[in-house]
C-alpha cells in the first residue's frame, strides 16, 4: 500500500508541475545592449552575464547591435543553446541609421519551441533615425495567440517626434497583419529632459487611451547613480492585449542586484537595465483535457489501495 501511495504522490506532483508549467506564460524582454559587437562578444564575463540575462526570456529584443555580419549575435545564440535545454534562433533587421558610422540593428532572439515567427516588416515611412522593425509572432501557450512586437531605439534629440510616429507604425502593421495586438518596446528616451510632462500632449501614444504604458514614469531603467530616468518602455495597444498580460509583470530587471555584480561590472554590458513583461499562459485545464482523462483513470486504479 505504501508503494502505491508513493506512486500516486509522484503522479500528483507530475500533474501539478504540468499545470503550473502551462500557466507560466511568455516572458518578453527588451534590452539596449549598447554597441554590441564582436569585441564585446569576445569578453567572456560580458557574454556569461548576457547569456544569463537573455536565457530568462522567451523573446528578447536587443537594440544598439553593431554587428552587420552577425558574428556577435551568433556567438550569443550559440552560448544560449549550450546554456540550457531550450533552442534559440535569431532574427535581425538590416543596419539602420542616418550615418555610416552610426548604424545599428534590432535583433530578436526567441525560443523556437514556444513561439513561431509568422512574418517581418521593416517600416519605411516617416523620418525615423532607426526605423522600427516589426515582427509578427504566434504562440499557442498564451491567451493572446498572435501578436506584433515593434522595437524602437529613438534618437534622443527627436524622441518626442519619433514616439509620436509610432502611432503611424501601429496603423500600418495592424492593417498589414489584421492584428491590433501590438506591443512597442525599446529605449525610447521617454523621460527626463528628452520627454517631459508637457511633451506628452504631443505624443499620440500618451493621449490615445487605447495605449497602455507598462513601464511607468517613476521607473529608473538606467544603471548609474547619476541618472534616474524611465528611458526604456513597453507600450501595448488595446484592452484585449492588456488583459492578456500578467498583472504587475512589467518590470526593470536589475541584474546587478540579482547576480550580485558591482556597478562597474554591470556597466561593461550597458548603461541600461533590461525591461520585461509576461503574457498570461493559456488556461491549463483546457490544454490538458486529454491528460485529465488519463489522470482520472490512474487515480481510479490506485484509489482502492489507499
Tens of pLDDT, residue by residue over 124-165, are: 988 999 999 999 999 999 999 999 999 999 999 999 999 999
Tens of pLDDT, residue by residue over 32-84, are: 999 999 999 999 999 999 999 999 999 999 999 999 999 999 999 999 999 98
pLDDT over threshold 60, residue 297:
no
What pLDDT is recorded for position 125? 85
The answer to whether domain 25-280 has CATH 3.60.10.10 is: yes
Lowest-confidence segment of 16-30, 69-83, 263-277 by average pLDDT: 16-30
Task: Describe the chain by its helix, strand, coil percentages, rounded to 5.
Answer: 40, 25, 35
pTM score of the predicted model: 0.86
What pLDDT is recorded for position 19? 43
Element spanning 166, H or E = helix 159-177
Catalytic residue flag (residue 89): no
Lowest-confidence segment of 117-121, 187-191, 192-196, 298-302 by average pLDDT: 298-302
What pLDDT is recorded for position 300? 53
The percentage of residues in the chain with a pLDDT greater than 70, rounded to a whole number, is: 85
Catalytic residue flag (residue 153): yes
To the nearest 10 degrees (0 to 180), the angle between helices 2-22 and 289-302 is 170
Residue range 217-229: mean pLDDT, rounded: 97
Please identify which of the residues 104, 162, 219, 276 carries the catalytic annotation.
104
Please identify which of the residues 136, 153, 189, 272 carries the catalytic annotation.
153
Residue for cell digits 526605423? 131
Domain segments of the chain as ranges? 1-23+283-306, 25-280
Residue range 72-101: mean pLDDT, rounded: 95
**Which triple of cell numbers denotes residue 193?**
529632459
Amino acid at each position: 500500500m505504501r508503494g502505491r501511495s508513493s506512486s500516486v504522490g509522484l503522479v500528483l506532483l507530475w500533474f501539478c508541475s504540468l499545470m503550473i508549467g502551462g500557466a507560466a506564460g511568455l516572458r518578453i524582454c527588451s534590452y539596449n545592449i549598447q554597441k554590441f559587437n564582436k569585441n564585446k562578444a569576445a569578453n567572456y564575463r560580458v557574454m556569461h552575464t548576457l547569456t544569463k540575462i537573455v536565457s530568462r526570456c522567451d523573446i528578447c529584443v536587443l537594440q544598439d547591435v553593431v554587428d552587420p555580419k552577425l558574428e556577435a549575435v551568433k556567438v550569443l545564440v550559440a552560448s544560449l543553446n549550450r546554456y540550457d535545454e531550450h533552442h534559440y534562433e535569431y532574427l535581425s533587421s538590416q543596419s539602420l541609421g542616418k550615418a555610416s558610422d552610426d548604424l545599428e540593428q534590432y535583433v530578436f532572439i526567441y525560443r523556437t519551441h514556444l513561439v513561431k515567427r509568422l512574418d517581418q516588416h521593416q517600416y519605411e515611412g516617416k523620418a525615423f533615425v532607426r526605423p522600427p522593425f516589426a515582427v509578427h509572432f504566434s504562440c499557442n501557450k498564451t491567451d493572446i495567440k498572435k501578436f506584433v512586437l515593434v522595437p524602437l531605439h529613438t534618437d534622443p534629440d527627436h524622441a518626442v517626434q519619433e514616439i509620436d510616429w509610432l502611432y503611424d507604425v501601429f496603423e500600418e502593421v495592424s492593417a498589414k497583419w489584421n492584428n491590433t495586438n501590438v506591443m512597442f518596446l525599446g529605449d525610447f528616451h521617454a523621460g527626463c529632459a528628452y520627454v517631459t510632462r508637457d511633451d506628452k500632449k504631443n505624443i499620440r501614444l500618451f493621449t490615445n487611451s487605447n495605449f497602455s504604458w507598462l513601464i511607468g514614469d517613476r521607473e529608473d531603467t538606467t544603471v548609474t547613480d547619476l541618472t534616474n530616468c524611465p528611458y526604456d518602455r513597453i507600450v501595448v495597444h488595446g484592452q484585449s492585449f492588456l488583459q492578456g498580460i500578467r498583472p504587475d509583470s512589467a518590470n526593470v530587471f536589475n541584474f546587478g542586484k540579482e547576480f550580485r555584480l558591482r556597478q562597474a561590472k554591470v556597466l561593461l554590458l550597458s548603461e541600461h537595465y533590461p525591461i520585461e513583461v509576461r503574457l498570461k499562459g493559456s488556461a491549463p485545464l483546457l490544454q490538458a483535457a486529454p491528460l485529465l482523462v488519463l489522470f482520472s483513470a490512474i487515480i481510479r486504479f490506485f484509489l482502492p489501495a489507499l
